[in-house]
Amino acid sequence: MKILTTQQIRDLDAFTIANEPVASIDLMERACVAFTTWFTDTFNTPNKIGIVCGTGNNGGDGLGIARLLKERGYNVQVWLVQSSGKATDDFNTNHRRLPKSVPVKELTSPPERQFESVDILIDALFGSGLSRTPEGLYAEVIQAMNNAPARRVAVDVPSGLLADKPSQEPIVRAHYTISFQLPKLAFMFPQYHAFTGEWVLVDIGLSKDFIRTAETPFCYVGTQQARKIVKPRSRFDHKGTFGHALIVSGSYGKIGAAVLASRAALRAGVGLLTTYVPRCGYDILQTAVPEAMAQPASHETMLTDCPPNLETYNALGIGPGLGQAKETATALGQILEKFGKPAVIDADALNILATNSALLHLVPQGSILTPHPKEFERLVGKWANDFERLEKQRQLSTKLKSVIVLKGANTSIATPDGKVFFNSTGNPGMATGGTGDVLTGILTGLLAQRYSSEDAAVLGVFLHGLAGDNAAYDKGMHGLIASDLPEFLPAAYRRVVG
């Protein structure tokens, strides 16, 4: 699913109006109906509803929603914040259509405690039509909305939030955001979650032809896109068809990382797997992952040398549980230089690269780096906001000619050609030690099966999150552990393949 800019969405609206064709007020009505349908499905008790409207088209949406909710038996109150600018034509039309039984109060001064009388407060003040930080009366209205004890629901975009550039408060802190047709870029970032709350998309019939041809580097990955990536299996395929992966992982006390990555690579479908561990991990790995070939390193407690016969492997995953000893850092450089093919680089391997920047040039082109935010900060430095963080991620991807997977909610995947994919799967139950090791295994397994780095990253991250969702559904988020994920990976595959 594409993520378009605010201007592209305006163009999409205009194209739909001109080419469907449909009157703009009728397109607004579709948006109002879609919002109201979601609202009545979610809040089906006779609560008192307050709707705060500006005089633009977002306010017109709010007035249309007020009419539709009144028709469905809800107790509705409208507050209208008058602006110095001219009201839009569609706003005026919906203002005339509003039943006289819906009370409308014009706000020309701070609302003080007026919003405390409602159970649910609908924000239709600005939507995506805003281009700067709210000031004056608007800022005071937003603050009063946030102070009210009501549940807050934003129409399209929380007022004050800029869809595709950094925002500053005041911003409505919505519990729900009901967005029309397509997600906004700001929705992808943790910095703005406190304002969007749970965001939901509703279809209002905007032109699919326009969306299909619109150019954007940003995409929100769902099941359909993941399904297109999965390679079918032939009757006469064999284990050699699906590649031989090498995972280099573990140190004394952290052999579990090697176990998790190995189990995940196998569940991801790799044909053969060799895991290179310190000697202290050999018996553990042979027992815990019998399907993997365990290869012991020369050192008892850490990795200090290069695995033999690197040329025989189709893919390499390196980093989980390695530690950051000087000898391990030297070995990492040797392994990356000798392997020379795309590798999955995670955890301590990333930390070693961050503290030994001279090794960065050894990262093979087409590799997949999988930092969490703190590891990413060590690589690129601090950022002022999440838009700047995204730009740093794209720059690092271009610099290394590799895919950068920045882990977290809506994990972002940046490719060297400037594209960014945001993931739709996963849940807070996955915020536990070892889930990143599982992702390393999945990605390594997919690379070994000769998926491109981009496809391996997009599909692997999606499957990883979906396995986490399956595990959370079965076990609950609070009790989820990393070793659950490989066991739920087959079900994730089945769901994607359909």
**CA gap 4, 180 in Å, rounded:** 12
Inside any domain, residue 1:
no
Q: Quick check: is 450 in a domain?
A: yes
CB 113: neighbour CB atoms within 10 A? 9
Spell out where 410-462 has E strands: 412-414, 420-423
Same domain assignment for residues 466 and 394: yes
Question: 498 or 185: which carries more pLDDT confidence?
Answer: 185
What mean pLDDT do residues 473-492 have?
A: 97
**Do 356 and 490 belong to one domain?**
yes
Evaluate if residue 426 carries a pLDDT over 80.
Answer: yes
CATH number of the domain to which 400 belongs:
3.40.1190.20
**135 plus 267 within the same structural domain:** no
Q: Note whether residue 31 is domain-resident.
A: yes
Q: Which of 63, 161, 144 is nearest to 109 (CA)?
A: 144
- The per-residue pLDDT of the chain, averaged, comes to 97
Please state the domain count of the chain: 2
pLDDT of residue 122: 98
Q: For position 349, what pLDDT does the model report?
A: 98
Residues 256 and 186 in one domain: no
pTM comes to 0.96
Whether residue 337 is contained in a domain is answered as: yes
Residues 134-158 have pLDDT tens digits of 999 999 999 999 999 999 999 999 9
Same domain, 232 and 143: no
Same domain for 199 and 341? no
Smallest CA-to-CA distance from 61 within 25, 14, 9 is with: 25
Which residues partner with 48 through β-bridges? Answer: 75
Q: Are 237 and 439 in contact (CB under 8 A)?
A: no
Phi, psi of 56 (to 5 degrees): -95, -165
Claim to verify: residue 279 and residue 185 sit in the same structural domain: no
Residues 439 and 324 in one domain: yes
- The structure tokens listed for 256 are 């579990």
Q: Kindly state whether residues 272 and 386 are assigned to the same domain.
A: yes
User: Environment class of residue 311 by beta-carbon count within 10 Å: exposed (0-12), middle (13-18) or buried (19+)?
Assistant: exposed
Same domain? 33 vs 146: yes
Residue pointed to by tokens 């839009």 = 88
pLDDT of residue 86: 87
With respect to residue 377, please indicate whether it lies within any of the assigned structural domains: yes
- The pair phi, psi for residue 318, each rounded to 5°, is -140, 140
Select from 190, 216, 242 the last residue of a domain: 216
How far apart CA 452 and CA 315 sit, in angstroms, is: 11
> Nearest 5°: CA angle at 363, between 360 and 364?
155
Return the CATH number at 179.
3.40.50.10260
Residues 494 and 489: their CA atoms lie apart, in Å, by 9
In the chain, what percentage of residues exceed pLDDT 90? Answer: 95
Average confidence (pLDDT) over 422-426: 98
Distance CA 159, CA 153 (A): 11
Is the Cβ–Cβ distance between 194 and 20 less than 8 Å? no
pLDDT of residue 84: 64
Q: Which of 198, 216, 234 is the last residue of a domain?
A: 216
Dump the DSSP string for 282-334.
Answer: HHHHHHH-TTSEEEE-SSSSS--SPPS-GGG-SEEEE-TT----HHHHHHHHH
Which of 197, 216, 235 marks a domain boundary?
216
- Which domain covers residue 462, as residue numbers? 224-497
Residue 201 has pLDDT above 70, yes or no: yes
The reply to whether 296 falls in a domain is: yes
CB-side neighbour CA atoms (13 Å) of 445: 30
- Give the sign of the dihedral formed by CA 163, CA 168, CA 172, CA 176: positive
* CA-CA-CA-CA dihedral for 421, 426, 430, 431, to nearest 10: 50
State how far the alpha carbon of 396 is from the alpha carbons of 188, 296, 344, in Å: 19, 34, 15
Strands 420-423 and 412-414: antiparallel
Residue 305 lies in a domain: yes
For residues 341 and 311, give the distance between their C-alpha atoms in angstroms, rounded to a whole number: 9
State the DSSP code for 365.
T
**pLDDT tens column, 221-278:** 999 999 999 999 999 999 999 999 999 999 999 999 999 999 999 999 999 999 999 9
At 418 the pLDDT is 98
CA angle 249, 427, 225 (to 5 degrees): 85
Residue 85, pLDDT > 80, answer: no
pLDDT at 498: 86
Q: Report strand pairing: 412-414 vs 315-318.
A: unpaired
Determine the length of the chain. Answer: 498
In terms of Cα–Cα distance, which of 440, 442, 458 is closest to 319? Answer: 440
User: Is the pLDDT score of 129 beyond 80?
Assistant: no
Over residues 379-400, the pLDDT tens digits come to 999 999 999 999 999 999 999 9
- CA–CA separation, 407 and 391 (whole Å): 15
Q: Which residue has the tokens 């939507």?
A: 127
CA-closest candidate to residue 430, choices 378, 381, 498, 479: 479
Pairwise CA distance, residues 147 & 133, whole Å: 19
Q: How many angstroms separate the CA atoms of 191 and 467, rounded?
A: 26
Assigned token pair, 336? 């990356």
Report the pLDDT value the prediction gives residue 45, as an integer from 0 to 100. Answer: 79
Helix (H, G, I), strand (E, B) or coil at 235: coil
Asked if 311 and 259 sit in the same domain, the reply is yes
List beta partners, residue 122: 51, 153
Q: Residue 141 is encoded by which pair of tokens? A: 């209205």
- Tell me, yes or no, whether 200 and 282 share the same domain: no
Specify if 189 maps to a domain: yes
